[in-house]
Amino acid sequence: MCGLRYALSALLVCLTCLGPTSALAADPYPAKPIRLLVGFPPGTATDTVARLVAEQLKNKNGWTIIVENKVGQAGSIAATDVARAAPDGYTLLLSANGPLSTNPNLYSTIRYDAAKDFTAISRVAVLPYVMVVRTESPYRSVQDVVQAAKAEPEKLDYASLGYGTTSHLIAASFAKETDTRYLHIPYKGSAETVVALLSGAVDFMFDTTLATEPQIKAGKMRALAVSTNARVPVLANAPTLNEAGASGFDMAAWLGVVGPAGMPADVVKTLNAAVHDAVNSKALTERLGNLGAIVSLSTPDEFQGFLVSELGKWGDAIKQAGVPKQ
């Protein structure tokens, strides 16, 4: 009997000693590099903001963030990979509205449920779009474009970042609102559309301020209008589409961070706080402002509600623009 008591006491001592050791074995998050997937090529607005956020997370917290570009299906390839990843906080997606709100309404082959397969972490920014032409273009206003299109339907063409992307939907909505027809030429990203416009391969395009403002500032592009219902500070002389005669416009992209469904609440809380700290840093806030982006942070719950509402909003935009489901 004494031997049994001795054995149980020894076991209790061992367990007591092992307890703290086991707790210490679980390193605080993050204990290894974090993959931040982007569904668009380098040079696009999504990629630019992802790299800026990653840089600030490293500077402020010492985290290693590896930005990976996984291009395809208007950003949905990257979203699919994240939806299928382990929900441990080491595979995240910095996404524009396309993969999470537009594509599910547009593509029948999407392999994830945008409302159920992701954990919302934080919205990051809003990105106004700008209608631009090259500086040598004969079109100096929105009405110049509209009048030319009415005179010769489908003679004018426009570039987009791909079928079903925000740039395409804004242009399609613009065509419907102004009762005009254009030839749509999709490209793989902003780097290609900028080259196409500047070379004269297309007549105009809608793209984010991040992609167009540097070209406008350099005198290579002319801004005809912005897609939001308010003017953009960095392009104060550019009217809104509403002011230019295309009423009812208030369309912009947004960017946010999500992970796979089922992430631990403490990891989500840590990520949300870190993203807010990074985006609110003076260096990043000024950089985004200079590029025309508007900082727009949120709690995880706020972002989740926003994602649900955006699914409905962009579904309606697709129907109203007459863009058929693929």
Tell me the C-alpha to C-alpha distance, in Å, between residue 119 and each of 101, 235, 260. 14, 35, 5
Burial class (CB in 10 A: 0-12, 13-18, 19+), 43: middle
Name 217's Cβ contacts closer than 8 Å, sequence gap at least 6. Answer: none
95 pairs with which residues across the strands? 256
Name 94's Cβ contacts closer than 8 Å, sequence gap at least 6. Answer: 36, 37, 38, 46, 49, 50, 53, 124, 255, 256, 257
State how far the Cα of 103 lies from the Cα of 169, in Å rounded to an integer: 11
Domain boundaries, the chain: 34-127+252-321, 128-235
34-127+252-321 and 128-235 in the same fold = yes
Each residue's pLDDT, cut to its tens digit, for the chain (326 residues) gives 445 454 445 444 444 444 444 334 457 899 999 999 999 888 888 898 999 999 999 999 999 999 999 998 888 999 999 999 999 999 999 999 989 999 999 888 999 999 999 999 999 999 899 999 999 999 999 999 999 999 999 999 999 988 878 889 999 989 988 999 999 999 988 889 999 999 999 999 999 888 898 999 999 999 999 998 889 888 999 999 999 988 778 888 899 999 999 999 999 999 999 999 999 999 899 888 887 888 999 999 999 999 999 999 888 888 877 788 88
Q: What does the pLDDT read at residue 58?
A: 95
Q: What does the pLDDT read at residue 74?
A: 81
State how far the Cα of 38 lies from the Cα of 46, in Å rounded to an integer: 7
Cβ-contact 254, 125 below 8 angstroms: yes
State how far the Cα of 203 lies from the Cα of 185, in Å rounded to an integer: 10
Q: What does the pLDDT read at residue 252?
A: 87
Minimal CA–CA distance to 209: which of 249, 252, 243? Answer: 252
Pairing between β-strand 204-208 and β-strand 118-134 as defined by DSSP bridges = antiparallel
Considering Cα of 215, then 293, then 145, then 170, what sign does the dihedral take?
Answer: positive
> Right CATH number for 128-235 from 3.30.1950.10, 3.30.450.20, 3.40.190.10, 3.40.50.300?
3.40.190.10
CA angle 233, 170, 173 (to 5 degrees): 130
Q: What does the pLDDT read at residue 26?
A: 57
Q: What does the pLDDT read at residue 129?
A: 94
Cβ-contact 247, 175 below 8 angstroms: no
67 pairs with which residues across the strands? 36
Residue 233 in tokens = 């500070």
Domain 34-127+252-321: which topology? Answer: D-Maltodextrin-Binding Protein; domain 2 (3.40.190)
Q: What does the pLDDT read at residue 8?
A: 43
Minimal CA–CA distance to 255: which of 36, 90, 32? Answer: 36
Q: 325: left (phi > 0), else alpha (psi -120 to 50), else beta?
A: beta
